[in-house]
Amino acid sequence: MGRLRGTGLGLLTACFLFVMAPGAEEQTAPAAGEEELEMPMVALTFDDGPRRSTTTQLLDGLAQRKVPATFFVVGSRVKGNEELLQRMAREGHQIGVHTYSHTQLTGLSSAQVACEIQQGRQALTQALGPGDYWLRPPFGLVNSCVKACADSPIILWSVDPEDWKDKNTARIVDHVVSNAKDGDIILLHDMYPSSVQAALEIVDRLGERGFCFVTVEQLMACQEIAPEAGVIFP
Ligand code: NI
């Protein structure tokens, strides 16, 4: 699933940028015209934000490292953070919706589920303009109603260091670095300084091992999976 083909030019560019970043000197970019390269790739995802202090620090660190990520934003946190979100979009990050008020969707009626998702997307649209804003449901809880109302792919994760639990940077980094493999989606929260520090260390450590970082959308494209409304990924 890390087999890149010559068709994903934007993705390849993103990968080359990372490969050529400081700290990854041992990696060499493939020669022009080379058809395929093996490069394990993962998507870093951040839920529950934005939060001005920590998200700004994270964006600074990701920009330095030329690494894109995916942010699943809580709609009620958009107001007052519009510039932060606009910076995210400008710097090539994918932005998705994490409902309006971070409610457990599986406890709600169909109309309430639709409302939570739509209001979240509306807040994003007001700040950023129209977009797809893929859904990550709070707590990763999905039922038939959530699938029917999602109106986008439903994005879960495959590596969860439970960064909210002890806020221990070293433990979070160790968990992710020792578990991450090609094609993984890593769950973190940009609300905690410990998670921001962990995320940047994860980028550096996995980068040294030749990992490439992409958005969830790029990861799916690379796996040749077409985005489909109401379908869970991964
Ligand atoms: Ni959440």
DSSP lists the bridge partners of residue 72 as: 47, 96
pLDDT tens sequence across 75-118: 999 999 999 999 999 999 999 999 999 999 998 999 999 999 99
Concerning whether 47 is annotated as a catalytic residue, the answer is yes
Entry pTM: 0.86
Using the mean position of ligand 1's atoms as its centre, give its distance from the Cα of residue 211 in Å: 26
Concerning whether 48 is annotated as a catalytic residue, the answer is no
pLDDT at 228: 97
Could you list which residues have their CB under 5 Å from ion ligand 1?
Answer: 47-48, 138
Residues of 75-90 as b/e, b for ≥16 C-beta within 10 angstroms? bebbeebeebbebbbe
pLDDT tens sequence across 193-233: 999 999 999 999 999 999 999 999 999 999 999 999 999 99
Spacing of C-alpha 4 from chain mean position: 19
- The one catalytic residue in 93, 163, 189, 204 is 189
Neighbours of 178 (CB within 10 A): 9
Using the mean position of ligand 1's atoms as its centre, give its distance from the Cα of residue 164 in Å: 10
- The one catalytic residue in 47, 48, 184, 204 is 47
Neighbours of 96 (CB within 10 A): 25
**What is the rounded average pLDDT of the residues 172-195?**
98
Q: Considering the chain, what percentage of its residues have pLDDT values greater than 70?
A: 84
